[in-house]
Amino acid sequence: MQPLIDQHGRTATDLRVSLTDRCNLRCTYCMPPEGLDWMPGEEQLTDDEVVRLIGIAVQQLGVTEVRFTGGEPLVRRGLVDIVRRVRALDADVEMSITTNALGLAKTAPALAEAGLDRANVSLDTIRSDVFHQITRRDRFTDVVEGLAAAEAAGLGPVKVNAVLLRGVNDDEAPELLAWCLERGYQLRFIEQMPLDAQHGWDRSSMVTADEILASLSAAFQLEPASEPRGSAPAELFRVGGGPATVGVIASVTRPFCGDCDRVRLTADGQVRNCLFARSESDLRTAMRAGASDEELAERWRIAMWGKLPGHGIDDPTFLQPDRPMSAIGG
Ligand code: SAM
């Protein structure tokens, strides 16, 4: 086993796999109302190709966690089968999904039975009209049902990811936390990042970790969690003395690149060593040209070696990546 190390001393063990760039929501901070030019079918990795690359990552590159994302991973037809095949390859790999939960009420038992460990559900509001406004779809109830089904299927601890938008849901932090605490979900707020397809992100209007914590502290007693954070993106706070926690993923105002252990594989088989990388390494073309597992593993290692020390959002020369979040895999 030769792991995915980079020249700044980090080792990537957490693989985010985008299974599709398509999504059935149209969150305003992610993509335009009409959607995007979706990836042509032949460019997307087949189920066999996805499983083969994950197998290489797990068996030859030291990856210990696999998270399926997108786009919306639940719209990928072969999802349950992919999960089952990855589980058959490795009984111990930690496998999770990041999803908007549309359809999860139906799929959660099959995913759990196939070997998925956990679900992270994105939900930015508990007001159904605000949900409609943000996602441009009237599907709040489906998400609530999906969350409950994930918990019931044993895909816990269920985490809820929320993005706060100025003037839309930035007053909702305490309400969201109370709602999640009541149901036993672990809430994490994510700072909005410059990854939207419309390039509309504006640092001066984003809701910062400091603001989120101030808003929560007005309603809850918070204290930094005592467990070491390690490579986890979320800074955790104990709520009301614990054991419940709330997290803040402050990629913009409190970057954690020095501890990053993540690597990404896009739905068309490109390795990205950072969410904000400006370049990718093409495994799909090499794989379809007949490369061996060892060759693909070596290409992957080379791709990781060049990972930059930080995402550079604060650098005046920062350029948003060409692909939006939905095509990279969030
Ligand atoms: N469709 C799935 C979901 O909703 O969880 C997976 C993909 S989605 C891109 C993953 C996460 O990225 C979601 O929690 C979403 O809110 C978040 N996200 C999308 N665009 C973002 C942005 N510009 N800044 C911060 N988070 C963003």
pTM above 0.95, yes or no: yes
Looking at residue 308, what is its pLDDT?
96
Q: Mutation test of ligand 1: which of 24, 27, 262 has the most ligand atoms closer than 8 Å to its C-beta?
A: 27
Q: Is 180 annotated as a binding residue?
A: no
pLDDT single digits (tens) 51-87:
999 999 999 999 999 999 999 999 999 999 999 999 9
pLDDT at 314 over 90: no
Looking at residue 315, what is its pLDDT?
85
Looking at residue 160, what is its pLDDT?
98
DSSP-derived 3-state class of residue 205? helix
What is the torsional sign of CA 190, 193, 196, 202? positive
DSSP 69: E
Looking at residue 330, what is its pLDDT?
82
Looking at residue 152, what is its pLDDT?
98
Q: With a 6 A CB cut-off, is 268 part of the ligand 1 pocket?
A: no
- From the CA of 292, how far away is ligand 1's center (Å)? 34
Looking at residue 325, what is its pLDDT?
94
Closest ligand 1 atom number to CA of residue 196: 23
- From the CA of 70, how far away is ligand 1's center (Å)? 9
- Judge contact between 82 and 47, C-beta under 8 A: yes
pLDDT at 254 over 90: yes
> Ligand 1, atom 13: nearest CA belongs to which residue?
122
Q: With a 6 A CB cut-off, is 70 part of the ligand 1 pocket?
A: yes
> Ligand 1, atom 8: nearest CA belongs to which residue?
330
Mean pLDDT of the chain: 96
Can you tell me the distance from the alpha carbon of 207 to that of 192, in angstroms, rounded to the nearest whole number? 7
Percent of the chain with pLDDT over 90: 94
- Judge contact between 69 and 97, C-beta under 8 A: yes
pLDDT single digits (tens) 11-34:
999 999 999 999 999 999 999 999
Distances in Å between the Cα of 289 and the Cα atoms of 190, 284, 286, 296 are 39, 8, 5, 11
pLDDT single digits (tens) 168-217:
999 999 999 999 999 999 999 999 999 999 999 998 889 999 999 999 99
> Ligand 1, atom 11: nearest CA belongs to which residue?
330
* Both tokens assigned to 237: 């706070």
Looking at residue 136, what is its pLDDT?
98
Q: With a 6 A CB cut-off, is 21 part of the ligand 1 pocket?
A: no
Q: With a 6 A CB cut-off, is 98 part of the ligand 1 pocket?
A: yes
- Judge contact between 327 and 282, C-beta under 8 A: no
Q: With a 6 A CB cut-off, is 135 part of the ligand 1 pocket?
A: no
- From the CA of 288, how far away is ligand 1's center (Å)? 30
Q: With a 6 A CB cut-off, is 6 part of the ligand 1 pocket?
A: no
Looking at residue 227, what is its pLDDT?
85
Q: How confident is the model at residue 128 (pLDDT cuts 50, 70, 90)?
A: very high
pLDDT at 316 over 90: no
Q: Is 193 annotated as a binding residue?
A: yes
- From the CA of 200, how far away is ligand 1's center (Å)? 15
pLDDT at 228 over 90: no
For 45-100, the DSSP string reads PPHHHHHHHHHHHHHHS---EEEEESS-GGG-TTHHHHHHHHHHH-SS-EEEEEE-
pLDDT at 307 over 90: yes
Q: Is 284 annotated as a binding residue?
A: no
